[in-house]
Amino acid sequence: MSVRKERFQVRFWGVRGSYPTSSLKTLKFGGHTSCVEVEAGTRRLIFDAGTGIIPLGKKLLKSRRSDLNLYIFLSHTHHDHLIGLYFFEPLQKSNTRLFVFGPNSSRNSLKSTLRTAMDSQFFPIGLQELDARKEIFSLMGGEVVRFKAGSLRPKVDKKSSLEALVKDELTILSYKSHAHPKNGVMLYKVIYRDRSVVYATDIEEKKGGYPEVIEFVRGADLLIHDAQYLNSEYFSRTDPRKGWGHSTVMSAVAVAKKAAVKRLVLFHHEPIHNDSTVRKMEKQAQRLFPNAVAASEGMEVDLMQP
């Protein structure tokens, strides 16, 4: 088959947490909020719709040769992970087919949350007015999203019905963590051709990591993990960030080591951190886990490389 079928590549479009930044001092790592593109075989998955999804949308329209089939997985619906959706141009095209997955809140389905977010009080174009064909799937956590060869629409199964993973079939596992205020966050593990990547943003690890999270992450080729704070900020005596729903570099490293992942990407950078602070955090991580890197806009990781 073609080379494309073998592709398993991760590309970072937005790496900043909480709100976008724009400054000469953050150019190296970038200012867009969360958005990570994963190409697996012929499928294109997008994790979160922060402002990073806006340039991704423009690129997709520019390079499209036929209909666009896109799969967006939302970690949760806090603004920094959703705000780019308003300006994601493929949504305005009738030959885009979009599947959106994400957690429901305690009160609402994902569909009703997205409808509210696009209510006319907040944005002039409603979700229903956008021309793309959309299907929205609310997840509870523990689901298996399977992509069968030749079928556009993935199948969502409860994990309990999961037999052995089908070899070479693209599969995404979901895990709901409550370690993010107030509705928690969904983590995802993408498995393809015996390789895997875990997307774990907006999670506040406890000391040493949560055993269930470590199990979910175990053995991943790549772990993308929240690492918003320095220890000095998290444990500050005057203005602590403990309880804000994000991890320190040290706790991201602890999870990476315990779960025996191959590579760690520090993600969801604190917006007030300039390039030299993020670089310092990267070095801190590398001292304990040499295969760690701070995410930057435009960075690519090829998971098919040995």
Look at residues 14, 87, 90, 23 and name the one whose alpha carbon lies nearest to residue 52: 14
- Of the pair 56, 144, the CB lying nearest Zn ion is at 56
Position of minimal CB gap to Zn ion: 78
Q: How far apart are CA 127 and CA 243, in angstroms?
A: 33
Q: Which residues contact 66 (CB under 8 A, 6 or more apart)?
A: none
Look at residues 164, 213, 149 and name the one whose alpha carbon lies nearest to residue 187: 213
CB of 185 to Zn ion, least distance (A): 7
Amino acid at 31: G
Q: How far apart are CA 264 and CA 141, in angstroms?
A: 23
Positions touching Zn ion (CB under 5 A) are 17, 78, 80, 202
SS3 state of residue 195? strand
- Of the pair 19, 235, the CB lying nearest Zn ion is at 19
CB of 190 to Zn ion, least distance (A): 20
- Of the pair 74, 173, the CB lying nearest Zn ion is at 74
Structure tokens at 288: 């304990």
- Of the pair 179, 191, the CB lying nearest Zn ion is at 179
- Of the pair 92, 244, the CB lying nearest Zn ion is at 244
CB of 243 to Zn ion, least distance (A): 13
CB of 20 to Zn ion, least distance (A): 11
CB of 49 to Zn ion, least distance (A): 12
CA 32, distance to chain mean position in Å, is 13
